[in-house]
Chain A
Amino acid sequence: MLYQRKRDQLLMNGFEHIQNTGRNAVLVVGGGVAGIAASLDLADAGQSVHLVENDGHLGGQVSKLDKLYPTDHCAFCPLWTDVKKCVDHPLITVYTLSKIKELKQEKGKYSALILKHPHYIDEKKCIFCGRCVEECPVNAICSGWEHAYPPSFVIDEALCTKCGNCEKVCPSAAINMELKEEEIDLLVSDVIWATGFKEADLSHLKELGSGTHPDIMTSLEFEDWTAESGDNRGNIVKRSDHAVPATIAFIQCAGARDLRMIPSCSAVCCMHALKQAEWVKRRNKRIDCYIFYTDLRTVGRDYYRYSLRDFEDANIKLVRGRPGLIHPLPGGNGVAVQFENTITQKKEIRKFDIVILNGNIQPSLIQLRPAQSGNTAVPQTDKEGFVIEESGETSCFACGFGLEPADVAESVIQASAAAMKVMNKESDQR
């Protein structure tokens, strides 16, 4: 007989052993790698978690990357399984398209008001058929992240005219344009800030030439532009005319280690540039890549060896020097980069087809204004936006880029450590 109720057969997602400790929930702000890791650690230890994410899906910045270092492998597999565990976990409540509207401290606890923007397309019902995409007259619908779990389409509100065509054609009645924003009140005992990073605008650093030519782009834009499943199908082409470039320049410390803008070192960009240069070479050996660096920070496991790898082929040239001027050439074909190779003390000016600015990432919290009324409990951040952790009656912990510029492995370690600090808080206060 096929249909038999067997208790131990139900153990297929491994959650049955989890019992709620009954303590107040923990609020994790930010659903990137760090937020996901912290939430899973807390939840697996019996602590209920509210995970709030601004974007429409979990995964954060890492989900937008095409490849990760040092494995040179796609970011999908390892991330997808953890995202799925988060979504399925009985002790984690995930709020996507959500923001924290208010956060107040009350008698040793936090009271949080979450503003949840509606998912007009219910991801639990979307069957990914794409009929809504075809019917939309303004092209406002697309799939948010290709590998989001559960996979669903997303409506870009800025373009939506509320014509209702999509609602009519959806076969599973997943679209409801009448949904309104929700305000959700939560009482939590601790907050872990895992808000990650965002790109900073480089246009006021005039020597970098940001925004003056389509082929001067940031490294995250380049990652997107050359993504395997992107519009260019993984081919390396110029943004200006889709031709194959002959030379690419990676400018490190663009905006970073710069007292005018971001005094810190962003930690991840050197390896990121090496990874991108490696992938350019894999796809097209003939493209010459130059990496202009100040200190090539390759500190983690196997990172230094990674930086040595293919340079014997002389297709990736490391030049120590921060270019003084990046300017589009007259006529628009190519970009001139003026630099001094500080090791040979030679000044040069060279033409590059694509220039990639690397380094302009800062903590997302830099935009926070703690003085707003009602928001008495937002974290203390320093001038650059990094969280200053506090422990005590109401603790505030942080992990990932919001605490210290960190790559994936470091962020996950910080996240687990933050989770442990939360679990230890009670005994610390005794």
Chain B
Amino acid sequence: MATICVFLCKCFGEIDHIIDFDLLSKELSKDSSVVQISTVDSLCLETDIEKTISRITESNSDRVLIAACSILSRGNLVVESLIKEGVEWHKIGLVDIREGCAWIHANDPEGATQKALHIIKMGIVALRHKEMSDDMSVTVNPSALVLGAGPAGLAAAVSLAKMRYEVSILERSNAPGGMLRLISRCYPDNQDSSDKMAPYIREVENNPLITFYPQSKIISIEGDTGNFTVHFSSQEKDSSIQTGVIIVATGAKIFFPTGLYGYGKIKNVITQMEFERQLLKGSLKTEKTVFIQCVGARDSGRPYCSTICCPTSLKNAMRIIDDVPGGSVFILHRGIMTPGHTLEKYYRDTLSRGVQLIRFEEEYPPRIIGDDHVESVEVYDAITGMTRKIETDMVVLSTPLVPNNDNVEMARMLDIEVDRYGFFSEIYPMHPLETRRDGIFICGSARWPVASDQAMLQGKAAAMKAVSYLRQSHLVASTLSRVPGSKLGHASVDPDACTGCGNCVAACPFNACHLEKMENRYISIVNMMKCKACGNCVSVCPNGSIQIPEHNYRMVGGMIQRAF
């Protein structure tokens, strides 16, 4: 049976002036597994650690239980300093008899002492049954794969190459640039989009560390964080690469508003992208233009704001004012979305140039007048309360960016998630470019509609996150995305008991379980690189064959028994 050395920390009188330590020592010595009980004034100051270690070695025990303050205050420090000194972490137990006992029950010392006794007994039984889970490590392939050669993908790839990592870029079309190739100029500084991309494309062409694969399509992805194998075809040739991390920068696509505002039937009702094409060709065919915002966006079908449409309309409106003598522009909007410093200034500048803005409400959208050719637009101006009729020769519809058709399939291959709209989703807002799978990052419009400047920033940011993985020679599974102080390993399956029901496969939020056929039945296998030991699988397992060794059922059962 395991032998335990117990430390009772007085915390300079904070604990022992409520809790009777003599009673604790007396009761605890009745437990045959407890071989030594040390009562100390403090455990967490730097001067204490040596004494603690020597007492542990003297006791010749194989576990140590510390009854002190909470793990969220100084208890953590004690455990970590013991670990630094070489004590194995799964043999250390920490229970809280300060915040959770002495301090909160200061008005009932007897009750608090009883509770402290039970807390320590619970800690002892938990420590006795605590086991260590398996671990694994993966050799890191110090190269990266970027999916998509739009602004986000290019920025990510070039940043990594400048840090001397090998990068491969898979691009669906035949040339880099993404959606920027379809746009004439970028806001807010009116930079020509090809000038914007030029330094990145040059780097892709000249840097030997970057390999560009045009016309490529992913076939399948195997492997784990640090060492993925991606099978793909490029220019009709099948190939595969090994890579350490994957950065998803596949962008988004334009929504075509067939049926809205006469699009598809009435001539000269075009989308913003078609307008950009006219600008690119230099064949601007309009004098009196009306832009309509939120076409197919911020409505019940697509209840989101696509971020870029308002500034794009402002940019194109100013272009018309600049390039077309006598040109006039109306923008019909439901709120101009230009948050921040740069964009708000852009908005103010547009207003001062004579672009006219009319606000309409969702319930009363503008009406296109004209049979096969647009003649005018009638709009209920929400601010003045008057209906206005605007003569126009072209109506430009601002439509949102929508997720690519293959996002769901891509997410399945990568084993990441998409949100309710179909864009790739991040794991939490404070880590906005990371997905539920370590080593796979999302950036640019694949993640959420953004303009090219922001997309490039996200590409660089995703590359920076990738570097912390690529720098390591090995990745140990139990350290992946773990919170500091989390001493849990991974779930582990008892292959004899597992019935292959698949509950754990369905319940795991990280998709870490899968069923494999062994002889004549199925059993569940846990992928340690994905498992974060949250315990959902344990709760849905019908016979307890999957457990987290550091928090197994014997520990929980024992703690419940000794609770009172």
Contact = CB atoms under 8 A, between A and B. Distances in A.
A10 B84 contact: yes
Contact of A264 (B77, B344, B430, B471): B344
Contact of B62 (A2, A81, A414): A2
29 contacts: A4-B86, A6-B88, A9-B88, A12-B89, A41-B465, A41-B467, A44-B471, A46-B471, A68-B429, A78-B430, A127-B42, A263-B345, A264-B340, A265-B344, A300-B448, A301-B419, A303-B305, A342-B383, A404-B340, A405-B340, A412-B431, A413-B432, A417-B460, A420-B460, A420-B464, A423-B464, A423-B467, A427-B163, A428-B162
Interface stretch (A97-105, A179-187, A290-298, A324-332): A290-298
B429 A71 contact: yes
B37 interface: no
B83 A12 contact: yes
Nearest to B456: A417
Contact of B385 (A45, A270, A345, A417): A345
Contact of B305 (A129, A298, A419): A298
Contact of A409 (B83, B304, B429): B429
A205 to B, nearest CB: 18
B259 to A, nearest CB: 22
B258 to A, nearest CB: 23
B499 to A, nearest CB: 34
Interface string B457-484: 1101111110110011110100100111
B159 interface: yes
A413 B433 contact: yes
B221 to A, nearest CB: 24
A11 B479 contact: yes
A411 to B, nearest CB: 10
Contacts of B485: 84
A108 B388 CA distance: 61
Contacts of B303: 304-305, 308
Nearest to A79: B430
B342 A150 contact: no
A72 to B, nearest CB: 11
B86 A17 contact: no
B348 interface: yes
B446 interface: no
Contact of B468 (A44, A406, A413, A424): A44
Residue of A82, A412, A413, A424 with most partner-chain B CB within 10 A: A413
Nearest to A430: B162
Contacts of B457: 413-414, 417
Nearest to A3: B57
B374 interface: no
A3 B45 contact: no
The 8 closest A-B pairs by CB, nearest first: A171-B12, A416-B461, A44-B468, A5-B86, A267-B339, A427-B162, A264-B341, A14-B479
A41 B468 contact: yes
Contact of A9 (B11, B63, B89, B343): B89
B80 interface: yes
Given A2-B87, A129-B11, A413 B458 contact: yes
B45 A419 contact: no
A134 interface: no
Contacts of A213: none
B341 A295 contact: no
Interface stretch (B179-187, B330-338, B548-556): B330-338
A257 interface: yes
A157 interface: no
A178 interface: no
Contacts of B335: 295-297
Given A127-B44, A299-B307, A419-B464, A3 B87 contact: yes
A4 B479 contact: no
Contact of B484 (A9, A13, A33, A270): A13
A10 B83 contact: yes
A384 interface: yes
Interface string B320-359: 0000000000000001111111111100100000000000
Contacts of A301: 304, 419, 423, 425, 447-448
Residue of A79, A303, A427, A428 with most partner-chain B CB within 10 A: A427
Interface in A1-40: 1-6, 9-14, 17, 33
B339 A417 contact: no
A171 B11 CA distance: 9
Nearest to A173: B45
Q: What secondary structure prevails in chain B residues at the interface with A?
A: loop
Contact of B77 (A1, A150, A267): A150
A302 interface: yes
A254 to B, nearest CB: 15
Interface string A252-284: 000001000001110100100000000000000
B464 to A, nearest CB: 4
B61 interface: yes
A10 B86 contact: yes
Given A129-B12, A297-B337, A343-B383, A150 B74 contact: yes
Contacts of B163: 423-424, 427
A243 to B, nearest CB: 31
A187 B434 CA distance: 33
B467 A44 contact: yes
Interface string A286-323: 00000000011111111111001000000000000000
A416 B430 contact: no
Nearest to A427: B162
Contact of B460 (A17, A82, A296, A416): A416
Contact of A3 (B86, B298, B472, B483): B86
A129 B9 CA distance: 14
Given A413-B432, A419-B464, 9 more contacts: A14-B484, A17-B471, A78-B431, A84-B485, A88-B484, A303-B304, A342-B383, A405-B341, A408-B430
B432 A84 contact: no
A299 B385 CA distance: 27
Interface string A147-160: 00011000000000
A250 B490 CA distance: 47
Contacts of A203: none
Given A12-B83, A85-B484, A299-B339, A172 B448 contact: no
A344 B73 CA distance: 55
B238 interface: no
Contacts of A409: 429-430, 432
A413 B86 CA distance: 38
B367 interface: no
Given A70-B429, A427-B163, A421 B460 contact: yes
B495 interface: no
Contact of A172 (B12, B343, B433): B12
A142 B432 CA distance: 34
B196 to A, nearest CB: 16
A41 B464 contact: yes
Contacts of A2: 5, 56-57, 61-64, 87-88, 91
A257 B522 CA distance: 63
A178 to B, nearest CB: 20
Contacts of B14: 127, 129, 171
Contact of B86 (A6, A270, A404, A408): A6
B484 A17 contact: no
Interface string B82-106: 0110111101000000000000000
A109 interface: no
A38 B277 CA distance: 39
A90 to B, nearest CB: 12
Contacts of B57: 2-3
A344 B382 CA distance: 8
B382 A302 contact: no
